[in-house]
Amino acid sequence: MRWKRVRGVDYLFRERDRRGNGTLLGRRNPETEARLRQFHDRKAAAKQRLAQIKAQLDEQARLNQALRLIAAVCVRRATDGLAEGDRECGMARIRMRTRRPRR
């Protein structure tokens, strides 16, 4: 969400995609400013929560890798967006990953 100026008037704008499509939610007034402030507060809280969850998953993945369990390692790889070509999560993939040096 952001402010968008249309014909000299500021509107609260919610973007739907990267091409700039979205919805105008109303002219700038105390209500829309509070709505934008609430959006930014909730977004910051969600980012902080995500960072905490990723840290916990990293710790759990290291432990599970050491114990040769696969659940948390699979979840962690999925949250990374299948970064290094990890399309499946099985014992063969995990054994291969344990041989490579960690970043």
Please name every residue paired with 9 in a beta bridge, in sequence order, or none if there are none.
6
Q: Split the chain (103 residues) into runs of 10 and give each run's mean pLDDT.
A: 91 90 92 94 92 85 72 55 49 48 55
- Residues of the chain by 3-state class (helix, strand, coil), percent to 5: 55, 15, 30
Which among 97, 69, 75 has a CA at the least distance from the CA of 85? 97
pTM > 0.85: yes or no: no
Q: Could you tell me the residue ranges of all domains in the chain?
A: 2-99
Instruction: Report, in angstroms and rounded to the nearest whole number, the Rg of the chain calculated over CA atoms.
Output: 21
Q: What is the pLDDT of residue 11?
A: 93
Which among 47, 45, 28 has a CA at the least distance from the CA of 1? 28
| Token couple for 16 | 């739907």
